[in-house]
Amino acid sequence: VPEATTPASPTTFVATCDLAAVVRGRSVPRSAAASVRSKGVGWVPADLALTAFGPIAPNRYGSVGDLRLLPVTEPVTVPGDDQRPAVDLVIAEQVQTDGSPWAGCPRSFARRALQDLADATGLRMIASFEHEFMLRDLPATAPFSWNRQRRAEPFGTELVELLEGAGLEPETWLPEYGDGQYEITLTPTDALVAADRALLLRELVRDLAERRGHDATFAPIVDPSGSGNGVHLHFSLVDADGNAALHDPAAPSGLSEIGLRFAAGVIAHAPAILAISAPSPVSHLRLGPDRWSARGPFLAERNREAMLRICPTSTVGGGDPARQYNLEFRATDATANPWLVLGMIARAGLRGILDELAAPAILPEEVGPEQLAGTPVFATTLEESLRDLEADPLASAWLDVDLLDTFLNVKRAEIAAVADLTESERCTKVADVY
Ligand code: GLU
Ligand code: MG
């Protein structure tokens, strides 16, 4: 982290993102911000066991132990207004009090996974998290319409400006298909940075929406019969010279040998990954057939029902297909911690490469309903996915034992917290948090 200059805002919020994908942390005054950049602020291991709905889940950390939240990124200034002053938001890793890594930190989990991938293969992961969300307060408008776009003003334009100013490199801002649904995409970048940006994006959207009187939610599904809000993780691999390693123009569907192995690893461990990537009690309602979310763990050319989609490329305006070529992991949502999702995918892909897993079938673009109906399916509840994670000896061991135990407890506490509610009430409870 470069030398801190005097922060722009009166306070700096030092933040982490936990197993419930909630951003938590604490603020320091301007006068302390520079020293906090190198020394961090205090934090508690058991905080990792906080659930999405408030109470803390049983955990092995207990009432003892201390950590530091150590800033690892440049702060982003969240602008202020009459009601909410500006604040600098800085992302931190959770470290031991002597500065050594703490095994429970979700960001360091992702960082190590990407480092191991790079060390073993020489490949660096590039990524972008594409987010959908809903503004629940807006009147009904037509999908993808100009009218829907304009109804979100001035929020929409302010959001694009805010993201540009914060260095998040917004790419597209659009009215989506579902009721009150919008989508925002960011330019691909180094995968760890992309995950940092994913959680900043969520907070910047929520903060600006609240300040403009909107009721924004990234919940995977708001109405069980309606459209879901997906997070689609686009990724590619580049070698040390920056050459696109996923793409081979001579290969079927353009997917390179290494890309096929990577995809094989992700598909092999998909049931376990789903516990991490679709981890709310309603996340599974978003998945399944005919929702254009992800119906099951398979690889397909351009099909929006695949967990792993080979995305289109374009030569319009001199576009280079090799540079655009990417895979899209569609089975995640904003109740998932982006660092954990990224780390799991990097680990699974690395396993596919190292163990030379057999190339998975690529479902072709021209596919009939019967062929689609014959594809593998996902678990249909979070509890089932948690058991899949526990039953996968490799994937569960990628996570630190205490982190895994805490994750399972947090998720089972969240399942219990909504057990007595109807499906629709569960969706609302989750939507109110996210
Ligand atoms: N809303 C869909 C989802 O839940 C995605 C639709 C699209 O392809 O953009 O993932
Ligand atoms: Mg979309």
| pLDDT above 80: residue 39 | yes
| pLDDT digit string, tens, across residues 271-280 | 999 999 999 9
Q: Which of 129, 134, 304 to mutate to test the pocket of ligand 1 (most atoms within 8 A of CB)?
A: 304
CA distance 392 to 398: 10
- What pLDDT, on a 0 to 100 scale, did the predictor assign at position 369? 87
| pLDDT above 60: residue 224 | yes
The region that residue 25 occupies, defined by phi over 0 for left and psi between -120 and 50 for alpha, beta otherwise, is: left
DSSP at 139: P
Bridge partners (DSSP) listed for residue 96 = 67
| pLDDT digit string, tens, across residues 169-178 | 999 999 999 9
294 alpha carbon – ligand 1 mean position (Å): 8
Q: Is the CB of 226 under 6 A from ligand 1?
A: no
404 alpha carbon – ligand 2 mean position (Å): 31
* pLDDT bucket at 73, cuts 50 / 70 / 90: very high
> Whose alpha carbon is nearest atom 2 of ligand 1?
293
| pLDDT above 80: residue 2 | no
Token pair in block for residue 54? 């408030």
Token pair in block for residue 88? 């600098």
| pLDDT digit string, tens, across residues 296-317 | 999 999 999 999 999 999 999 9
41 alpha carbon – ligand 2 mean position (Å): 38
Q: Which residue has the tokens 């809000």?
A: 229
DSSP at 406: H
Q: Is the dihedral of CA 269, 275, 278, 282 positive or negative?
A: positive
Average pLDDT on 25-42 reads: 96
> 142: burial class by Cβ within 10 Å (0-12, 13-18, 19+)?
exposed
Token pair in block for residue 15? 């933040």
Q: Is the CB of 7 under 6 A from ligand 1?
A: no
Among residues 395, 392, 376, 123, the alpha carbon closest in space to that of 259 is found at: 123
Token pair in block for residue 366? 């021209």
Q: Which residue has the tokens 């061991």?
A: 397
| pLDDT digit string, tens, across residues 310-336 | 999 999 999 999 999 999 999 999 999
Q: Is the CB of 309 under 6 A from ligand 1?
A: no
Q: Which of 129, 130, 330 to mutate to test the pocket of ligand 1 (most atoms within 8 A of CB)?
A: 330
Q: Which residue has the tokens 């001579």?
A: 250
Average pLDDT on 148-157 reads: 98
Q: Is the CB of 385 under 6 A from ligand 1?
A: no
How would DSSP label each residue in 71-138? E-S--EEEP--SSS--EEEEEEEEEETTS-B-TT-HHHHHHHHHHHHHHHHS-EEEEEEEEEEEETTS
pTM (2 decimals)?
0.97
3-state helix, strand, coil in the chain (%, to 5): 40, 25, 40
| pLDDT digit string, tens, across residues 87-125 | 999 999 999 999 999 999 999 999 999 999 999 999 999
- What pLDDT, on a 0 to 100 scale, did the predictor assign at position 135? 98
Q: Which residue has the tokens 């982490």?
A: 16
Measured CA to CA in angstroms, residue 397 lies from 125, 235, 356 at distances of: 22, 24, 20
Q: Is the CB of 293 under 6 A from ligand 1?
A: yes
- What pLDDT, on a 0 to 100 scale, did the predictor assign at position 307? 97
- Ligand at shortest distance from the CA of 172: 2
| pLDDT above 70: residue 4 | no
Contact call for residues 298 and 375 (beta carbons, < 8 A): yes
CA distance 416 to 105: 25
- What pLDDT, on a 0 to 100 scale, did the predictor assign at position 433? 97
